Each structure stands twice: as C-alpha cells, then as structure tokens.
Structure 1
Amino acid sequence: MSKDITIAVVEDDENLRFLVAHRLQAEGYKVVQTSNGNEAEELIIQQMPAVVLLDWMLPGKEGIDVCESVRKAGFENIIIMMTAKSQDVDKIDAYSYGVTDYITKPFNMDVLVAMIENKVRFFLPKNNDVYSFGNTEHHPNIHSLVRDGRKIELTILENRILLYFLQNVGKEITREQLMEVVWGYSSNVNTRTLDMHVVRLRKKIETNPDKPHYLQTVRGLGYKFVDSEEQE
C-alpha cells in the first residue's frame, strides 16, 4: 500500500542502506538515497522528503552539519539521526542542531518503522490549519505565532508542544503524554527538559508568564491549555 510519503536514507554503509530502503519500500514509502553528506544536502533541499534518516558519520560532510545546514535553508520536516553514539549528552546537544529524534545502531527494523510512523502521525502538518487563542494566531506550518500583526518565531519543539495543546484544549495532559508526542517513540528525555520548553513557550504566548492564563500547570500531573475569553 503506497503511503505517498518520501523518506531520504542517507547512510554510507551500503548493506545497511539497502536493508533500510528495502524495508521502507515494503512498508509503502517512497525512498530516495545517498551515501555522501554533500549530496545529501542537495537531495534534501531539492526533494523535500517528509522524513530524513541521517547517519551521524558521513563522507563529505558530517550528518549533524548536514542537519544544521538544511534547517538554516528552511527544511522543517522530520530528521532522525542514525548514530552509534548513545550518550545522552550527544542527544541533547543534537536537538540544538535541529534533529527531531535519534535511533542508535544497531537498531531493530520494527523499532525504526514504528518510530517513523509515530513521527509521521504527529509531526507532519496535515494541512494549513491556523489555530487562534485570545488575540494570537498559531501557524504550525511555519513554526510561528502572529499577534497584533507581529510574527513570533517558535522553535521546532515549542511548535509541537503548542500544536498538541491547541488540538487538545481543556484536556489535562500528563508530562509523559507530552514527552511521547514531542520527542517521540524512543524518548528518554527527562521531565525537567520538557518543563524548560514549557517555560520558554509561556514567555511567547502569555501576557504574564509567571501567572499563565493559557498554559496552566496541573499539579502532580502535567499541563492543561485553557482558552477562555478572560484575557485582556
């Protein structure tokens, strides 16, 4: 069954690239591939795949540099880094380069497929929906807020967090739920990191971030997004 979604596989190990590409094609994805960092950059910008599976160590240009470069060029889709490095410090650092998530080699193909399906379900914009709350509009496709005619940029993670809340207004969301949605299938990010992103998001959406009107804390559980008209 065709899913009409293109995945770029960027991996210099020929056997692994073949195995991954073959499995993804069997799952109904369209696959484009390369083994070189410089070629990958061109391929990603030209083809705009929905998902990029990007090896950390590549000839030509390292995966992390490719990631940073295509993000700067405006590529906003999913980038999953394939890496033999499993230290948490690398993972957190890589988020600052714009990596969506990680999978550590050697990985199980079923886990990779499940991770991709999770990302595609949650992160790919379905359409050009715009969400409104108070005097603010959220444009998830361009990772931005618009308030009083002024554009406020959101980070990729802030964008995801806000989108999930706006799709679930009034519902109490646990931290675990939120982390699953924001970081995905194999997340091992701690709750402090999540809370830090929520604090930053509040600074962009609240009149008084210390007394949040919209993004409220639910003690001992997580958060809730309240969209009532009490806001001036």
Structure 2
Amino acid sequence: MHTNIKIAVIEDDDNLRFLVVHRLEAEQFQVIQADNGEDGEELILREKPDIVLLDWMLPKRPGSEVCENVRDKGFSNLIIMMTAKSQDLDKIDAYSFGVSDYITKPFNMDVLVAMIENKVKYFVSQPVENFTFGDTEHHPSIHTLIRDGKRIELTILENRILLYFLQNIGRVISRDELMEVVWGYSSNVNTRTLDMHIVRLRKKIEINPDRPAYLITVRGMGYKFVEDAE
C-alpha cells in the first residue's frame, strides 16, 4: 500500500529507532535509517526520502543543523522533528531552519503512524496545494504567507490552524475540533491557548485584526473561515 513512500528515520536511541523502523516497515513503508546527524544528512541528500523523521538531539550534528543544511541544498520534502516534551519548538521558530512539523516524545506508535498517514494524504500523494485568499498566498509546506511579494512566517501551530481552516472554508469549526486537529491526542491545551493562537494568526492574515474579514468568530460555536472577505 505504501511501498512507494520512502521514510528516513534519523535517531540515535537504538531502541526507539528499532521500534519506529519496525512499525513503519510493518505498515509497508520503505524505511532507511541513520544514528547520527552527519550520516543522516548524507542519507537524506542521497536517497531523497518523501518524509524524514529527524531527532532534535543527535551526535555529530544536531537535528536543527541537519535540517537547515539539507534545505539549503534544495531538499524540499517533509521533515518531522522528533523532540522531547521539554523543548517547545513553537518557541524556537522551527520554520527558520525548515522543519515541516514535529512530534513530541514519548509518542505512541499509532499516533506516529496516523500523523504520517495524514502527511502522505495531504502532502506526498498529491502536489502540495498552495491556497490563496484575498491578495495572500499560503504555502503550507514551508509555513509561509506571501503578500505583496513579502514573506510572512507562520509558526508550526499557526500553520496547522490556517491549513485546517483553508481545507474547510465556510464550515463552522468548534474549538474542540480545532484543538484535536492541531494539538492532537496529548492535548491538555485549553481554549484560552487556542484563542491566543487565533489572535496571533489574525495579526498575520487580516488587514485589521480587530475586525477580522477572513477568520470569523461564530459566537458560542467556534470559528469559520470566509474566503470572499468584503
């Protein structure tokens, strides 16, 4: 089923790498692997996998540097950073060195597989779709907005939120649904945190964030993205 999808697992914890590789092979993915950043970088550039699972803390070369280096050399496929819970990638601007998304350790293998299946569906099996609303383009694979020729960077979470709205234009989305989609299974996130991310996102996508034209609050229900803003 997935035999045409190649995944690179770059992880120095032998036990975790074995478990991840074993499970992905059981799901019929092609899997290649390395246990340090230097070898991992060479592997990515040589094999050009569809998806890279890259550990944040690696011997010989940290994951952030590997990511930055392969991006500089033209690798544009998905890179998912595997990171300890204590490291909040959203705070250290993962997009600045080209991470597509991240998953926090310890993670459940079913959750990892579900995440990869989702990426295969939206980013690998078809050309990555860029969205346009008003005079703004959204490039989800590089979490960037382009408006008037200028780049506006989105954090990973802002990117997930906006992508979900753009895939569901005109539909009212409850806060619970949004939190499940954006933060996933381990979500102990509260609605205040979500609302804070919405406020930040509006500052990047709206002409007047205090009177949003695209990302509308639907009182008592949640939010809705309107394509044809007045």
Displacement after TM superposition at 1:138 (Å): 3.1
Instruction: Give TM-score scaled by structure 1 length.
Output: 0.76
Displacement after TM superposition at 1:26 (Å): 1.8
Distance 2:153 2:11 in 1: 30
Distance 2:90 2:141 in 1: 24
Distance 1:125 1:204 in 2: 29
Displacement after TM superposition at 1:162 (Å): 2.1
Distance 1:185 1:120 in 2: 19
Q: Which amino acid aligns with 1:36?
A: N
Q: Tell me which residue corresponds to 2:222.
A: 222
Structure 1 pair 176–118 and aligned structure 2 pair: CA distance change class (3 A) = farther
Structure 2: state its 5+ residue gaps: none
Distance 2:33 2:135 in 1: 44
Matches within 5 A, 1:110-189: 110-121=110-121, 126-148=126-148, 150-155=149-154, 156-189=156-189
Displacement after TM superposition at 1:79 (Å): 0.9
What is the DSSP-based 3-state SS (H/G/I as helix, E as strand, rest coil) of the residue aligned with 2:211?
coil
Displacement after TM superposition at 1:73 (Å): 6.3
Distance 1:128 1:93 in 2: 22
Displacement after TM superposition at 1:10 (Å): 1.3
Instruction: Give TM-score scaled by structure 2 length.
Output: 0.77
Aligned pairs, how many?
A: 224
Q: Is the contact made by 1:53 and 1:79 (CA closer than 8 Å) also made in structure 2? A: yes
Q: Which amino acid aligns with 1:158?
A: E
Structure 1 pair 65–174 and aligned structure 2 pair: CA distance change class (3 A) = farther
Distance 1:93 1:136 in 2: 23
- Percent pairwise identity: 61
Q: Which amino acid aligns with 1:62?
A: P
Structure 1 pair 50–199 and aligned structure 2 pair: CA distance change class (3 A) = farther
Distance 2:77 2:22 in 1: 25
- Of 68, 93, 98 in structure 2, the residue corresponding to residue 96 of structure 1 is 93
Question: What do the CA deviations read for 1:145-188 (whole angstroms, capped 9, x no partner)?
Answer: 3444x233332433332222122111111223223333444444
Question: What do the CA deviations read for 1:91-146 (whole angstroms, capped 9, x no partner)?
Answer: 356663356232424x5433432333244445658324343323333343454434
Displacement after TM superposition at 1:2 (Å): 2.7
Distance 2:214 2:104 in 1: 34
Q: Which amino acid aligns with 1:5?
A: I
> Is 1:4 equivalent to 2:4 in the alignment?
yes
What root-mean-square deviation, in Å, do the aligned CA atoms of Structure 1 and Structure 2 show?
Answer: 3.2
Matches within 5 A, 1:50-65: 50-65=50-65
Q: Is the contact made by 1:68 and 1:97 (CA closer than 8 Å) also made in structure 2? A: no
- Larger mean CA deviation between 36-45 and 190-199 belongs to 190-199
- Larger mean CA deviation between 62-71 and 10-19 belongs to 62-71
- Larger mean CA deviation between 19-28 and 29-38 belongs to 19-28
Q: Tell me which residue corresponds to 2:38.
A: 38
Matches within 5 A, 1:202-221: 202-221=202-221
Structure 1: state its 5+ residue gaps: none
Q: Which amino acid aligns with 1:53?
A: L
Structure 1 pair 119–137 and aligned structure 2 pair: CA distance change class (3 A) = closer
